[in-house]
Chains A and B, each alone.
Chain A
Amino acid sequence: MRKHLLPLIILLAFLVAQPLSANAITPLEPNRKCSLKVHFTKDDYRFSNLETRIYRVAEAHSDGTFDLIAPFSGSSVSIHGIKSQREWNDAAVTLLSYIVDRKIQPDHTVLSDAQGTASFTDLHTGLYLVLGNTAENDIGIYTFEDFFVYLPTPLESEGFSYDMEARPKPGEFVPKTEYTVNKLWKDSGYTSKRPKSVTVDIYKDAVLYETVILDSSNNWSYSWKTPEDSSKWTVAEKDVPDSYTVTISSSGSVFSITNSIKTTPGSPPKTGDTFPLWNYVIAMSISGFLLLIFGIWHKRKSQ
């Protein structure tokens, strides 16, 4: 969990949700150049020579809102209405899958310097996806997760900061020996549109590792063994059906690919359990006993 990024993410959600011009005295300048410094440190240790890639995924408008730009506008990711860090994480995982699957090159790539700082200058305003890294020192191996940065960033007082610094918090690298990908659906009421199977590409460090088919025979789930190294795994669904949008989430060693159809909630069902089975069983038993007694009585009487 990227708790260190929570304030930023809340801010991002606010920015996407509503224009800022009504609140900010100083309007956003969409054409002004920005800079970004990402500090890769762990306590006093500074990780140098880390290749850091950033993608400009959305452009900023003067009213403070922003929209996905090509090639990301072709993805099914929606950055509007996001309400939580969880949903920003899903957006990052889904965009990364889109990047890997379509071999999209980063807008900028730099190496961190001796101070562990990756410096980007002359950036356009917009929303950037910063890809994380795995770094190693004498003490251990650490992972820096992917995260979003909004340029410029609104200041608490007023106006915007066009020069942003980010300090992603390193997490302890936990080796994993098995990964799983699950196929989930959000298509209640429209399951007839669901395909019989889906094809999923599994990538190891952005290189195609395996292609698998998920269907009812494997309960729409697949697991694969991995060496205990720091490889970065991603998954991507091929040929998503037209009527569906795809979201990919990642938790631990499990990827979940969710295909959604925009549905409207139907009317509530009836409980339908109006058949009181036990009442009938009891009535049947009592009737049976009474008939049996009557039959015996009737036979004795006729004798």
Chain B
Amino acid sequence: MKKRINFFEVLGILLIVCSLGVLLFTQLHSQYTKKKAAEITCKIEAALPETTPGFPGDYSDPVMPVLQVEGKDYVGLLNIPAYGLSVPIVNEWSSFHVFSCPARFYGSVYDNTMIIGGNDQTGQFDFFDRMNPGDHIKITDMLGTEFAYAIDRIDRAKSADYEHLASGGYPLTLFVRSAYSAEYILVRCSTTF
């Protein structure tokens, strides 16, 4: 007797294939963006002068300059040595950009108001749930000035609007939406000089 695949089986297989396709795509995409971010970082590092320590009080203008690399504006480099992370920071925020690199959400390192958003995919902030208070973070601007921070506290929140992100007046806040728990991880940092 001939066995025919019915509508429900077709739809079920289709949904499973789509799910696997999305999984495969995100894995390939994160590998690609990781490689791309490393290339951009190398290009930026090659263009920058030797780093010098920066002090937020030194600036009469809080606006950070950007360097355009491969058609996209970057405002600096984000370095977290304990986790081997060194990635460029896109200047203009968009939820699309954070799939490639962390992006400046608001503010500036020059006046201690910097907020950076990111993604927890491989090659970016995939270690966020392992970060600890005291971990060091460095941001280098496009003039080669390096600003040093240490993690003060790590919060979890259901929403991440500007008021929530800027609350507490921390010089640097990193945030990332956890893919699995659907909550935001907010990393609050203080300057270390």
Contact = CB atoms under 8 A, between A and B. Distances in A.
Q: Do A and B bind each other?
A: yes
B160 A299 contact: no
Given A251-B52, A269-B94, A272-B94, 12 more contacts: A182-B47, A184-B142, A185-B73, A251-B49, A256-B142, A271-B175, A284-B19, A285-B15, A291-B8, A291-B12, A292-B8, A303-B1
Interface residues of B, number: 64
Given A292-B13, A292-B16, A249 B143 contact: yes
Contacts of B63: 186, 188, 260, 263
Contacts of B5: 295
A59 B56 CA distance: 30
A251 B144 contact: yes
B67 interface: yes
B20 to A, nearest CB: 8
A2 interface: no
Interface of B: 1, 3-19, 22-23, 26, 43, 47-50, 52, 55, 57-61, 63-71, 73, 91-95, 98, 105-106, 117, 142-144, 160-162, 166, 175, 177, 179-180, 182
Interface of A: 1, 81-87, 180, 182-186, 188, 191, 216, 219-221, 249, 251-254, 256, 258, 260, 263, 268-279, 281, 284-285, 287-296, 298-299, 303
Nearest to A287: B15
B93 A269 contact: yes
22 contacts: A82-B60, A83-B57, A183-B67, A184-B65, A184-B67, A188-B73, A216-B71, A219-B68, A220-B67, A220-B69, A252-B50, A252-B144, A268-B166, A269-B93, A269-B162, A271-B117, A271-B160, A271-B161, A271-B177, A278-B179, A291-B11, A294-B12
Contacts of A263: 63
Contacts of B179: 277-278
Rank and list the top 8 A-B pairs by shortest CB-CB distance, nearest first.
A288-B15, A292-B12, A295-B8, A291-B12, A295-B9, A268-B162, A272-B95, A84-B58
Contact of A251 (B50, B55, B60): B50
Nearest to A302: B6
A296 B9 contact: yes
A191 B71 CA distance: 12
A291 B9 contact: yes
B57 to A, nearest CB: 7
A273 B16 contact: no
Nearest to B59: A83
A183 B67 CA distance: 7
Given A292-B12, A299-B6, A188 B91 contact: yes
A191 B73 contact: yes
Contacts of A268: 105-106, 162, 166
B36 to A, nearest CB: 14
